[in-house]
Structure 1
Amino acid sequence: MKIAVQTEPFDFAAETASFGTGGNNVGAVVTFTGIVRDDSGDLEALELEHYPGMTERAIAKITEEAMTRWELADALVIHRHGRLAVGEPIMMVATAARHRVAAFEAAEFLMDYLKSRAPFWKKEHMRSGTAWVAAKDADEDALKRW
């Protein structure tokens, strides 16, 4: 299990190449990378703040839950903070399991958690000004299925 909260970009290919290769009982690896997107046509950058230590512990706790619940062989969560431009990778989740259903479900569970519960505070930097991002009902609803 690897958890990283960092400002620097990550190398998706390198992370993927080294992930899930340690066990002979892995039948599926699922990866997801989130990208900063501009839904409004006005966004220049997204800024993420967090409390060092607290954020890593919270992500590790939910990742450990996913490892147990879906009997994962491995899990990876990388989440960036700081100022990120539109189009930059913001996070990566990878899960390795004996079967694909477990790998997919665990990855979705982790992504839903990161979107709505991980302790990050997001501020949008738009051409028209700045604004903190409020919680979205759709993100909260996604958690209900778990």
Structure 2
Amino acid sequence: MRVVIQRSKKASVSINNEVVGEISKGFVLLVGIEEADTKEDVDYLVRKISKLRIFEDEEGKMNLALADVQGEILSISQFTLHANTKKGNRPSFIDAARPDKAVPMYETFNQELRNAGFTVASGQFGADMQVALVNDGPVTILIDSKQK
């Protein structure tokens, strides 16, 4: 699994010009699932994201976790994180998980974040979504569960 984490001041996701999920301060997560991913990948990423200290403390140092700032999560499925661009100019998505595997894993990932105590808003898997955010910093981090 690959997750792009963007620290945000506010964010929303819309489908057909209707907002279906929004958060205030927190993380926007772009979540890519590949065929080789397992529940172990979900568990690893939930632990990392839950404890990731990228919010500034009173001294301006990145020292606070999401829970420390009462942050929320906007989780967006994004199979394009597994694009392979080695050959030609058209990306291949052969490693991206098919919906029958990706949807339950994505839902499990979001539920595990909720079980960890976070408010999680999301878009709709496979939908054409428009994501709006104010990236705070900007701070953007990529975590790949295969690169532990």
Q: When the two structures are superposed, what TM-score results if normalisation uses the length of structure 2?
A: 0.31
- Higher relative helix content: 1
